[in-house]
Amino acid sequence: MAKKQFKAESKRLLEMMINSIYTHKEIFLRELISNASDAMDKLYFKSMQENLGITRDDLSINLSFDKDARTITIEDNGIGMDKDELENNLGVIAQSGSFKFKQDNSDADKEEVDVIGQFGVGFYSAFMVAKKVEMLTKKYGEEQAYLWSSEGVDGYTITDAEKEKNGSVITLFLKDNTEDEDYGEYLAEYKLKSLVKRYSDYIRYPIKMPVTHRKPKEGKEGEYDETTEIETLNSMVPIWKKSKQELTDEQYNEYYKEKFLDYMDPLIHIHSKTEGTATYNALLFIPKKAPFNFYTKEYEKGLQLYSSGVLIMDKCADLLPDYFSFVRGLVDSEDLSLNISREMLQHDRQLKLIEKSLERTIKNELKKMLNNDREKYEEFWKNFGLQIKYGLYGGYGMQKEFLQDLLLFTSSAEKKLTTLEEYVTRMKEGQDAIYFACGESVAKLDTLPQTEMLKEKGYEILYLTDNIDEFIIKMLVDYDGKEFKSIQSSDADFESEDEKKEKKEKTEQNKDLLGEIKKSLEGKVADVRISAKLRSHPVCLTSDGEVSLEMEKVLGAMPGNEMKPKADRVLEINADHPIFAKLQFLFDNDKEKLAAYADILYDQALLIEGLEIEDPVEYCNKVCALMV
C-alpha cells in the first residue's frame, strides 16, 4: 500500500517532535485527551441540535496500557472522522497559515519550545514518545471505519478497517528506551493516573482506566488478592467551578497554558463569581506577552462562552471591549440559553450585562496591579499599553474617565514611567499645566532646548513616544482640572511674569530684525519670535495652532496622499544668546550674511526637533563658509 506524504510544514513539525528535547514530553497525554474531549463535545453538540438523544453520561474516555507490547491506548466515543477528515486533520497541521517555520534549521532546538507551546501541535506530540502511532476511527452515523497509521516523517497510510462503535482509538507504540530517556515510564498505573490528575482533571468526561488493587489474602500471610476495577481518574469539575482556595497558581497557570496555547505563564489570572443582575463565573487571564499576531488584523478577540458548563462559543467577541482584547479566558453563565445562535447572542441583554460587569472587573484588577505590583503593571503596559491607548482614542474620549488612570508615560524626572495622578501630585507650586513633548525617543526629547528651563524650575515633562500619544492628549484635554501643554507649541508660556515682560520689550526693540529674518525664511516658517523658553540654546522650533510638528510627522507617514495638514512653524530665538548680538550686528551691516545665518539657525532648529532639513548639502556649505 502506498504511503502518503505529510505536507511539508507538517513534516518539519513532525521531525521536531520526533527529535524533541522538550522537557515536558508527558504533555502528549494531555493533548490526546483534550482531542478526545473535543471530539465528544462535538458529538454532544450535534446531538443537541439534531435531537440524537446522546447524553453526557454516554460519553467517556478509556485509557489503557500494555506493558509487554509497550503500547498506550486512548479511546473515545466522540464524533470520529471519515477518510477525508483523517487526511485533512492528521496529514496537515496548522492550516491557519500563521504558522511559519524559520528556514534556519540550526535554531530548531531553541524554537522548539515556542512552537510546541504557541501552536498547540496537539496530535503530533504523540511522536515525542511513540515510534508509531495508529488511529482507528469511525465517524458518527457512518458505516466504514479507517485506520490511520504512521511511523513518522516517512508518511502515513489510511486503510479501511472494522470498528463497531463511533469514535477513535489511538494506539501509541512507545519508543525504545535510550540512555537518557525512559519511555517505558508511561507504562505504569500511577504514572498515567498522576498525569491525568495533573493536566486533565477538569476534563468534563470521565477518563477511565483499569486500576489494580491488592488486598492481603485472608489467613495467608504474604499473599495477595488482586482485583482490577475500572476507575474514573479525573474529578471532572471544571476549574472555574472550583473555589479559589482549592486552586494553586500552578493549576491556574497550567490550565491557561493548555487551553490558550501559550508557553508562558500568564501575567495574572482573574477568577470571579458574580451574582446579581448578571450571574456568571469568569476565569480570565492576561498573557505575559502579546501574541505574535496581536497587533494585526488576524488577531481575534473574545472569550469562551459556556452555558452551565457546556461550551457554546469559542471566541465570543461581544464579551470584551476592544481595549481589553488581550484578555483570554472564559465565562460560564446559567442565564444563557444553550441553543442561542450567534446572531441572537449579539442582542442578548444578559450578555451585555456580563460584558459591562467584566469590563469593570478587568479594570479594577489592572488598577489593583498598578497600585500593588508596579513592576508587573509596567510589564503589562509594555505589552498592552498601546491597546489601552487605542481604546481611549477609538471611543472618541468616551472611555476617558474609565481608562485615563491606567495610562503610563515616561517623565523627564528619572525617565521613569508615571501615571497622570502621580504627575499631578508631584506638580510644583505655581505649575498650572501638565507639560509634555512628543517625539521619537525619550533620549531625543530629553535634549530638546525647551526642556532646559522647565527642568530648572523643577517641572516635569511627559515624554510621549507613541504615534498615538498626542492624539490621546488632545482627547483628554485635561486631567484633574490641569490642562496639558505641549512644550513644542509656540504658546506654551512657562516663563514668569517678569520674563514675559522682558520678552515683549525685546520683541518690540528687535521688530525689524525679526521681520528681516522672517522674510528670508519665507515659505519655511510662519513666524520668527523672541523666545522665553530657552536657556543655553540659541533656537528652537515650535508651532502655532492645532497641528504640531510631531503630528505633521505622524500624519505624513500614514498611507494615502490626500492633502496632509502642515504645522505652522515658528522659529524661536534666544535673545540672551551671543548669537543674537551677532544677528543684530549683521542686520545693521551685512543683510546677505544675516540671511545665511537665518538659514543655518532654522536648519539647526529642524535637526534638534528630529526633522529633516531640506538641503543638507547647502547647509553644510553654509557652515563651512563660516568656518574658513
Q: Which residues bind to ligand ADP, rule: CB under 6 A?
A: 35-36, 39, 76, 78-81, 89-90, 93, 120, 122-123, 168
Q: Report the nearest approach of ligand ADP to the CB of residue 134 (Å).
A: 12
Nearest approach, Cβ of residue 252 and ligand ADP (Å): 21
Least distance to ligand ADP, CB of residue 30, Å = 11
84/182 with CB nearer ligand ADP: 84
Question: What is the DSSP track for 463-522?
Answer: EE-STTHHHHHHHH-EETTEEEEETTBTT---S-HHHHHHHHHHHHHTHHHHHHHHHHTT
Nearest residue (CB) to ligand ADP, 27 versus 528: 27
The one-letter amino acid code at 104 reads D
Instruction: Kindly state the smallest distance separating residue 93's Cβ from ligand ADP, in Å.
Output: 6
Amino acid sitting at position 171: T
Q: Which is nearer to ligand ADP, 170 or 575 (CB)?
A: 170
In the bound state with ligand ADP, the residue whose beta carbon lies nearer, of 35 and 450, is: 35
| CA distances, 389 to each of 202, 438, 469 (Å) | 37, 15, 8
Nine cell digits for residue 281: 463565573
Output DSSP code: residue 188.
S
Q: What is the closest distance, in whole angstroms, from the C-beta atom of residue 74 to ligand ADP in the complex?
A: 8
Choose between 39 and 487: whose C-beta lies nearer to ligand ADP: 39
Cβ distance to ligand ADP smaller for residue 42 or 524: 42
Structural contact between residues 86 and 146, judged by C-beta atoms closer than 8 angstroms? yes
Q: Which residues of 7-36 are buried (b: 16+ CB within 10 A; e: fewer)?
A: eebbbbbbbbbbebebeebbbbbbbbbbbb
**Residue number, nearest CB to ligand ADP:** 122
Q: Nearer Cβ to ligand ADP, position 122 or 538?
A: 122
**Least Å distance between CB 75 and ligand ADP?**
9
Cβ count within 10 A of residue 442: 16
> How does 584-619 read in b/e, with b if 16+ C-beta sit within 10 Å?
eebbeeeeebbbbbbbbbbbbbbebbbbebeeeeeb
Cβ 40 to ligand ADP, closest distance in Å? 8
Residues 6+ apart with CB under 8 A from 518: 525, 527, 528
Is residue 320 exposed (0-12), middle (13-18) or buried (19+ Cβ within 10 Å)?
buried
Geometric angle at alpha carbon 202, from 199 and 208, rounded to 5°: 80
C-beta of 89: minimal distance to ligand ADP in Å? 3
Q: Which long-range contacts (CB under 8 A, 24 or more apart) does 482-486 make?
A: 482/424, 482/427, 482/432, 482/433, 482/434, 483/432, 483/433, 483/434, 484/433, 484/434, 484/435, 484/436, 485/433, 485/434, 485/435, 485/436, 486/435, 486/436, 486/437, 486/438, 486/548
Which uninterrupted H or E stretch holds 127?
A: none
Pick between residue 233 and residue 583 the one whose CB is nearest to ligand ADP: 233
Closer by beta carbon to ligand ADP, 80 or else 238: 80
For ligand ADP, the closer CB: 81 or 282: 81
Least distance (Å) between residue 38 CB and ligand ADP? 6
For residue 84, the minimal CB distance to ligand ADP (Å) is 11
